[in-house]
Structure 1
């Protein structure tokens, strides 16, 4: 399954992650509509990645892995909280799928430093393909999905775009 939706749009781990939180954000991101870069949630995430991530993460088109443990070949996705564990697991699963495509079979882990919580992720190819198809469906739509108020809207970097 191709990760390329258009010449300027690639299915990314971030799009997979957001497809589990808010499809509307996927649609905006695929059109390069970016949230306010100084938003506190984004800054917090960047700070956590600087502390716990690798200096030279592994990357391919559409993905940049936060950390990689060579000793047990584990891709580590670092998150600031456990609120979006399902999303983080889907993102990590996507990374495992993409790495397998280039010949690297790995295990995955979602790490939440605040709770010292580690959640194992094992590749599920069927789930990744469904997630990629969902992102493709959202991105190929001519208009953003309808606004749906969810518990995450209050702190969302796109809040003003949807609800302002």
Structure 2
């Protein structure tokens, strides 16, 4: 039997179309991107995470000459949050990424598979959707209402 999966998402041509909190997350993720350590790939990614209590925390990618010992921006931010605020729910995640040179930007940059799986763990843990935004350096933004929308056949603790 063949079945199809459909993903619902919103696309914005500019961050100016976003609500104020999303604009703030976009700017913080873009700023965090500037501090990424990406000497090998020259691909800089920043992430801003809004907690249920209103706090915003950021992360950026951290590369290492001994691939794959580095860590993506999303996991850098979320692991730090989990270590320091284990009882706080995550409301929204905003990711901004692209090559160091602004002229080389492409479509909005989505999280990699490892980051999707890691974010899905927190969405499952808190039993509440995490809204995800991802953008490029040309100010285009895509929004999905839940991590599971990007990872419909996710693996979680129910399989163990």
Task: Name the one with the larger helix percent.
Answer: 1
Q: Report the TM-score range of the alignment, normalised by the length of the smaller protein.
A: 0.3 to 0.5
Q: TM-score, normalised by structure 2?
A: 0.34
* RCO higher in structure (CA 8 A, sep ≥6): 1
Q: TM-score, normalised by structure 1?
A: 0.33
